[in-house]
Chains A and B, each alone.
Chain A
Amino acid sequence: MKANRPALAALRAAVNGVDLNRFRFWVQLASFAFFLYGGYAAVNLGSHLPLFACVYNRVGTAGAGAGVCYLMPLQLQLARPWNTLFTGASLFILTGLGIFMLWFLALNKAWCGFVCPLGTIQDWLTALRRFVRIRYSVYTQSQFDWLKKIKYLLLALAVLIPLGIGNGYITRELRAPICQICPGRVLLPLFSGDYSHWNIDFTSTTTVVMTALGVLITGLFLVGAFVKKRFYCFFCPMSAFLFLLSKPALLRLKKDGSKCTRCGDCYRVCDMQIKAIADDVVTADIMADDCTLCLKCVAACPETGALKVKYAGLTIFEATETGFIKRCQKEHCRANASR
């Protein structure tokens, strides 16, 4: 096939030799602008998006961004009284979930690695740290194994607390609890000039606790992301949710274990410290629950065909020796230029 279509082969080689980090930087920047300011151009992709495009990011009554995160509607919908929740009247909850799934399936967790504004902010904080030449910190393996469970706990709370509200067990002040403690609520409205979320709401004990938690977590988010790459993504309930739904997604990260030398280059560059990407030579669907599909591992892999990105079965980007060496030499050239 390749021989018949030299143009296709050339295109493949060009894609596989891409400077992925630079490409990702521009995609992230564009997505950031789009999902924070798209509303100004009257773009509205609805409120079922699998990323932290915050509903509180508003101008007047309209959203400032091009769409809204699904976690808010989900939590509100689940908080319906139980006698209506399990009837046909709640069909719209399933419809909402379906729409959310459609968005999600298109990009899988690349929403996290390429699109999510909170992810992008963390990467910018990382860039800032790199610029001032401070070293990142890492978790030890045991810390990591323990911490990665938190996001499932948060996801469970995102479902259980609204259900409790619907049943009358829990105060309505805990509506959309995850949004209340989400750093997206505090940070993202800042970009459209709204500083009002940087405060503590003294209406009641619950609001004090929740808004204080929100500000505290935002502080942790900023500090954490500065010292630890993608700090918040370890705890992100959306990340857990997406992973649970990811089986039928179209964009997939594949590994051919027979070509892997376990050199660990992929693990080395992984922001999420996923060891299995290097060590697991059995699983073909190698995307782990923490994975953000940033694809840095594919770019850092020197073994042709060992890691592949497929879209609906079609390979769109794969690790190649020449691509690796090209990126490597570019790095070294850049170093020489910066001397």
Chain B
Amino acid sequence: MPTLPAEPTHAVTQPFSRSRQAREAEETLTHLVNDFDDNPESMDYFYDLFRRVFCQGESLEREGVLVGTTCIHAPEELIYALGATPVRLCNGSYHYDQIGAEFMPAKSCPLVKATLGLLQDPHAVPRVGKLDLIVNPTTCDQKKKSGALMTALGHTVYDLEVPPSKDTEHSRVYWQRSVRALTERLCQLTGRRLTRRNLRAAMARTSRAQAAFRVLHEHRRAAPSLVLGKDVFLVTNAFFFDDIDRWTAAVERLNAEIAGRAAAGFQAAQTKAPRILFTGSPPIFPNLKLPLLIEQSGGVVVADETCSANRMLYDMTAVDEWHLPDMVDSLADKYLKPCTCPTFTNNEDRRRRLLDLARTFQVDGVVYQVFAGCQVYEMEQKSVADTLQRAGFPMLAIETDYSPDDLGQLTTRIEAFLESLKARKRHRPT
């Protein structure tokens, strides 16, 4: 079994903290922390975590086999059950985006470029060590095709076949077979056997994490808001690389603090702050510019429908019979059926999910982020906008990427949107 190379933290010539990439992270964190008063104390764990990992380049001690995943479709429970650790490779760094751009087509989306940029770096940050395998779910075309690029970069890639649709019974059966095949591959890789016991333990861990996330999600229903969206995105982003149990404990602490604040009548945003539902391409640290902008401009992101937060953690598994085949199939179902990824043929579930979130979280408007080059999100934009508009929710669609160049322009647009929402709110008969 491959072991982690004893890699010195400062293998690069200059101190990491002075690199471009550290400064980029520092910049985001500074705004995220300092631009807001009354950050919850239990958020310090997360601020500190990101500072250590992204600004100081601290290595994350990881034991066992490391399995990179490029999409939320890869069932983490299987990876944990076999004693391996999943590393979510979707990346939000402009630094890596630019490196990726050097060898990727100009029209690729920044997320894919940044992921590839990260993968070409032997000292990639977050420093998790050498990946033993990358599980690459065949979702959008760019991710599908980047598997070959990853192989060319010297990684071992396993293409996890995701069906193009999820509504039919045969797509479900196809996917269940894909997941079983992945299980075999992972067993081979780790040299372990998947058992009822280890899978059950892994599912319990994930389920506890999800339960904690759901409590946090529930807290966001409150009006006026108890917690800001920028903090929630940071929390769910930490789930990408943090130790799952430590993460869950930290979220449970945060939940307790928020509950305490609720009892004390605290509010995290102004009563009249427009409540925003965030959807589209996923905000991934350090690229939290859009949610940050919304909240710096006086709005508050109260809910999201993105694969770096809600879509990744919300849906929980139900098992009827706790024997291995049924457990694995149940997991497969959880990763397919509720998923609102735009790569599936039909986006009805996504539109229904957005409507439900908009209604139950008393949302004033929706911000739809599209990464330049992300065709699937772009193509769904109209149908989503129409659905929301018909239900009385204005939507602002923003095409952007990881570069800070459009910040000025975005600020103007976001502020105008929030102003219009406020005006609507004032004129709405109560």
Contacts and interface: CB of A to CB of B under 8 A. Distances in A.
Given A262-B338, A263-B337, A328 B316 contact: yes
A278 B166 CA distance: 13
Contacts of B323: 130, 133, 135
B169 A140 contact: yes
Nearest to B314: A261
A331 B322 contact: yes
Interface stretch (B131-139, B288-296, B351-359, B398-406): B351-359
B316 A302 contact: yes
B372 to A, nearest CB: 29
A339 B197 contact: yes
Given A258-B352, A268-B333, A279-B167, A136 B321 contact: yes
B320 A269 contact: yes
Contact of B211 (A140, A261, A329): A329
A264 B173 CA distance: 13
Interface stretch (B67-75, B107-115, B148-156, B199-207): B199-207
B253 interface: no
Nearest to A142: B169
A265 B352 contact: no
B35 interface: no
Contact of A265 (B204, B314, B318): B318
Query: Which residue among A130, A265, A332 has the maximum number of chain B CB atoms within 10 Å of its CB?
Result: A265
B218 interface: yes
A51 interface: no
A146 B420 CA distance: 56
B318 A135 contact: no
Contacts of A133: 323
Contacts of A332: 200, 203-204, 207-208
Interface string A229-263: 00000000000000000000000000001111111
A261 B321 contact: no
Contact of B325 (A135, A258, A264, A267): A135
Contacts of B169: 140-141, 275
B211 A328 contact: yes
A269 B173 CA distance: 16
Contacts of B197: 335, 339
B177 interface: no
A78 interface: no
Contact of A263 (B214, B338, B352): B338
A298 to B, nearest CB: 11
Contacts of B322: 331, 335
A278 B315 CA distance: 14
B319 A331 contact: yes
A324 B214 CA distance: 12
A328 B261 CA distance: 28
Interface of B: 167, 169-170, 173, 197, 200-201, 203-204, 207-208, 211, 214, 218, 314-323, 325-326, 330, 333-334, 337-338, 349, 352-353, 355-356, 359
Given A262-B337, A275-B169, A300-B318, 13 more contacts: A140-B173, A141-B170, A257-B352, A261-B314, A261-B315, A265-B317, A268-B330, A328-B211, A332-B200, A332-B204, A335-B200, A335-B204, A339-B197
21 contacts: A130-B323, A135-B325, A136-B326, A140-B173, A141-B170, A258-B355, A261-B314, A261-B349, A262-B349, A263-B316, A263-B333, A263-B337, A265-B318, A267-B333, A268-B318, A268-B319, A269-B320, A329-B208, A331-B322, A332-B204, A332-B207
- Which 6 A-B pairs rank lowest in CB-CB distance, beginning with the nearest? A263-B338, A265-B318, A264-B337, A332-B204, A141-B169, A300-B318
